[in-house]
Every structure is written in C-alpha cells, then in structure tokens.
Structure 1
Amino acid sequence: MTQRTRFDATDIARIAVFAAIVAVLGLPGGFSVFGAVPITAQTLGVMLAGAILGPWRGAAAMLVFVALVAIGLPLLAGGHGGIGVLVGPTGGYVIGWIFGAFVIGAIVHARGRKLTWLRTIVGIAVGGILVVYAFGLPVQAFVTRLPLGETALQSLVFVPGDLIKTVIAAVITMTLVRAYPRAFRAAAATAPAAPPVAVGASTADDDSR
C-alpha cells in the first residue's frame, strides 16, 4: 500500500467516527418525494467526510458505512438496511456516496494546498451533488422504470436542499480548519515526507532551510 493510502490507527478511528456521523444524521429519518427517494441529512455527513478526511479516508468512511448497511444494519434514514436497499431506487445514491466523498476530498485537498472557500464549495458541490446524482439517477430510473429525463426532472426538488447542505458543509469545514487544523491530518499525511537530515550537518546547511 502506498504512502497516500496507508491508514494508521488514528485514521481508522476517524474513518469510523465519520461513518457513525452519517448514521446519526439518519436518525431523524427523512421524507419521500414522489414516493421513491427520501430527503435526509445524511448527505451532509458524506460532504463533511470528504472535505475533512480527504479523498481516500473520506471514501473509506463511506465504504464502511455502505458495508454495514449491506449486512443489514438499519443505518439509513428511517431505519432501513440490508442488501435489498442497495438494489432499490435509493441504491445508486448510497453507492454514489463512496465516490462522491472521494471527489470532494480530491478537489478540496487538491495537491495538499491550503483550503480555500471557493475550492471547498466547488468540491463539495461537484462530489456531493453531481457525482452522487450521476450514480443515483440511472439506478432510480432503472428500478422505477421511468425515463431518465423524467427521473432527473423529478429530482430537481432535491437540489435546493443539497445546495443548502453544501453551504453548511463548507462553513463547518472552513471554520474547523481555522479552529482545529489537526482535524485535517489526512491532508498532511498525503504530503511527501521531508528528506532525512544527516547527523552533524553544518550550521550553514541549517540556515539554508
């Protein structure tokens, strides 16, 4: 496993925490629109996982969550779980959370650069909305046997709520990076390691650094 994807005990704990956060955000339940896909707060957890943990750890947190749902734990909004959920109308969206979190992290933490408002908002919107919809809409259309265009049109009702969650996730992320930068340990972990310093290096060498 490369340095970019090697997880230590702290990473595993943080991955578990964010998987739990997504589960907790499903406790209030959700309400369905057009009788197929419910509106829930769980996508906010997906957005935060990618933005805070970075691409690989964010995707890993969602992979853990989806795996727990697949084995039957009722972690989705409304207490749903089981492999049947993943092949139902909402299944594509849930699977899309894994890839959405990765894309969010990849954009927000692009090349390990300092987080900015613009890149954070764009990353969360692209990964948390566009990528998730790209997985969810075709599966929903297939399961409900509706044309893809009609399914996409119906799903427009979700967009305002998703945009609100995007702003909330960006505010939380940018506030946290200032108040508690250690929470973004994942971004630092992907940076190249500094070369070892030889014992007895000259003072001049030290000054040059």
Structure 2
Amino acid sequence: ITCGLYRTGFLTRCALNILVGLLLIVVAAWGKGFGIVSSIHIIGGVIAVGFFLLLIAIVGLIGAVHHHQVMLFFYMVILFIVFLFQFGVSCSCLAMNQGQQEKLLNSSWGMMNNDTRNSIEKKLDCCGLFNNTQNLGVFMSDLHLCDAPCLKKSPCLTCGEKMLQHSSEALKILGGVGLFFSFTEILGVWLAMRYRNQKDPRANPSAFL
C-alpha cells in the first residue's frame, strides 16, 4: 500500500513537471517571438529549463512504471540540478529591472541594420526605439526611415515602449511560475527517493532476500 501511495504521488509529480515544462516553453517562446525580446538571453535559459524538465519528467514516468532503480536515481540527480538552474534563472527574471532591460534593448537595436529595424517597426507598428536625449540622433534617423502603418493614422509609439511592456510581462510570468514550481521539484526528488527505496510488489520476493 505504501509503495502504491508513493507511486501515485510520484506519477502525479511527473505529470505536473510535464505541464510546467510546457508552460515555461510556451511563455518563453511568446516572449522571444516579440522581435527584439529574443535578445534577452534569460528567456533562452527558461526554454532550456522547460525542455530539460519535460525530458526528465518522461524519464521519471518510465522509471516509475517499471520501478527502474537506475532511471529513478538519474531522475533524482538531474531534477535537483534542474531545480538549482531554474531557481537561479527565475530569480534573474524577477530581478531584472526596467533600466537593465533598456540597456539590453539599446545594445541589440544598435547591432541591427536598417532593414531589420524596419521589419520590427512594421511588425510592432511603431517607430524608433526610445525618444529621449540619449538616443535622440538614432531616434530621428529611425523616424525618417520608418514605414510603419501607424504613421498614416496618428503619431506612433516608440518600439521601446511596446517592447518593455511585453518583456516585463514575460519576465514576471516566467520568474513567478519558475520560482514557485522550482520548490515543488524538491518534493519530486523526495518522492523519487522514497519510491525508489520501496520494494516492487510485482517483483519476485525472493530477489530481496
């Protein structure tokens, strides 16, 4: 009975890992798909965490179904490593303030050619990056070349405003979800350890003598 309870809890934990992994990948891909937001490498780290979480959850499910000692051992070790990495990435997502995001956006925007900038401006329906004294020369040059649809209707918003709003939302969601579920992964490690040490009821009892 005890083995069955641990097995049920462990399988539930693996299924939850799959859902969390998919959620992290989807939200991070949504963030990367928003043009210049892909320059924030932390989001790439979140996708990597989600992928490994999916992979290790599948390993855990197979190990639980077959009560495979070696697979369960590797599940525990790798899940603990994923926990450490996910915890660090999640804290980085939550700690990144607007000023740091602006520096990343300015750096990435400066490395782009005019065609890439025009493509982003049309996609986001905006012109230029930031309209401030520090970037006034670059902004006026971008505004002169801008061909976004918003020019025909009303004054355009800057792309920096839209990107900051979007990236802030993505980082908060990724950081919050990742941080919350990183602590539940410790429960997964504990369940795997307890279940691994239980005798397999389907096995030959004499094998443990």
User: Which is richer in helix?
Assistant: 2
Q: TM-score, normalised by structure 1?
A: 0.29
Q: Which has the higher contact order (CA 8 A, sep 6+)?
A: 2
Give the number of the structure whose alpha-carbon radius of gyration is greater: 2
Q: TM-score, normalised by structure 2?
A: 0.29
